[in-house]
Amino acid sequence: MKLLLENAQVEGIRYYETYRKTGGYRAVEKALKMTPDELVEEVKKSGLRGRGGAGFPTGMKWSFLAKPEGVPRHLVVNADESEPGTFKDRYLMEFLPHLFIEGMIISSFALGSNTSYVYIRGEYAWIPDILEQAIAEAKANGWLGKNILGSGFDCEIYVHRGAGAYICGEETALIESLEGKRGNPRIKPPFPAIQGVWMRPTVVNNVETIAAVVPIINMGGEEYGKIGVGRSTGTKLMSACGNLKRPGVYEIPFDLSVEEFIYGDEWCQGIANGKKLKACIPGGSSVPILPANLLLKTAKGETRYMNYESLSDGGFATGSMLGSGGFIVLDEDQCVVRHTMSLARFYKHESCGQCSPCREGTGWMYRILKKIEYGQGTMADIDLLWDIQRRIEGNTICPLGDAAAWPVAAAIRHFRDEFEWHILNPEESQTRNYGLAHYADPLEVVSA
């Protein structure tokens, strides 16, 4: 069942007239006949969980919003999709912008937000134009502006372009950037629901989360909640990439097994070039990597499914997270040490530097991983890496520190033998596949 991408292949669906003909904006008509509290209750009944990574219940998050008399409230949509391996929000905004805008109008009404914002990452340079065109079309047809459909509700949506910073995917750093300041995360509490943008009550939700509000209102929260498994309700967009025969954006049911998603003809159709599956990062670069045996089966030998509970079964020792839906597959020829080094380099670069464990620890982990990758490491370096990531996790203002630590911890936990191979075979480690033999100092070479 497709709830979000059902009409994605309809020619011209990006434009208002076609979207309207396929039933677009019916959910707004229905929502404006309800009260804001009734809308929040429908989202609660649906069981919708945030699709940006944390998986927090959306209706519960909405209900936390403070409602002081005379103080404006705001909806801010996090379109700063910067997690490596994740690109499903881009797909929604690029090809189904009116679905997203419709979800924003409904959510704004439910939250009492007369002015709402889309904060979009700087690298998505072409998408703001698409969104602004869709906003203009919606406004020209009476879905935005003053007194929408005679309901008395006013709403304006503005697109704010970020400058390109992963840290601004964290909601309080995003708010700081939206206000025109450096994108540093805030210490919480107070939480955005109490004091967010311009110190006003604010809800920050991900693009896919807001788009999912449309089918929830169209079909009703209880019916939406019947789709899925347990607390994983509805459907989920996945960004499948890496060594797959058919990478892309897929809308999956939560009762789909991981094995079927990777090998099924309807889905990714298996590993490219006839290779074997080695490992996968199932929820974007920040979640723990899983070897093939633990990706397809839990530690108890049970089938893993593409949902929040199944992928996390066993905790970080034998499980991972659904996260932001960035499904990164590695085949048997891929080097886990090299990929972990590449991720560590990313987090080192994107750390805002506000917290010393993250500021110093991310760079330290990267330098050690680079030593090991290029045949200059020692066995003691593996233990040092483990100790550094342990001291970063849970000791920073925002989750970027955790995001940097978890990949390193999981790589050592599941692939320690590869780290040891690099150390025990320094000459081969320097030259294997990378053509680095002519460099006097391989540590000066930065892997792409």
Q: What is the pLDDT of residues 326-368, one digit of tens each?
A: 999 999 999 999 999 999 999 999 999 999 999 999 999 999 9
Is it the case that residue 152 has pLDDT exceeding 70? yes
Q: What is the pLDDT of residues 268-317, one digit of tens each?
A: 999 999 999 999 999 999 999 999 999 999 988 999 999 999 999 988 88
Looking at residues 26-51, what average pLDDT do you find? Answer: 97
Looking at residues 192-216, what average pLDDT do you find? Answer: 97
pLDDT level of residue 185 (50, 70, 90 thresholds): very high
* β strands within 34-130, DSSP E: 74-79, 115-120
Tokens 């789909």 belong to residue: 256
pLDDT level of residue 432 (50, 70, 90 thresholds): low
Looking at residues 400-423, what average pLDDT do you find? Answer: 96
Residues 287 and 321 sit within 8 Å (Cβ to Cβ): yes
Please, what are the domains in the chain? Answer: 16-226 (3.40.50.11540), 236-331 (3.10.20.600), 336-444 (1.20.1440.230)
* Closest-CA residue to 285 (of 236, 239, 331, 233): 239
* Closest-CA residue to 325 (of 384, 426, 244, 252): 252
Q: What is the pLDDT of residues 45-84, one digit of tens each?
A: 999 999 988 889 999 999 999 999 999 999 999 999 999 9
If residue 202 lies in a helix (H) or strand (E), which one and from where to where? strand 202-206
Amino acid 171 reads E
Return the C-alpha torsion angle 274, 278, 283, 287, nearest 10. -160
Supply the mean pLDDT for the chain: 94
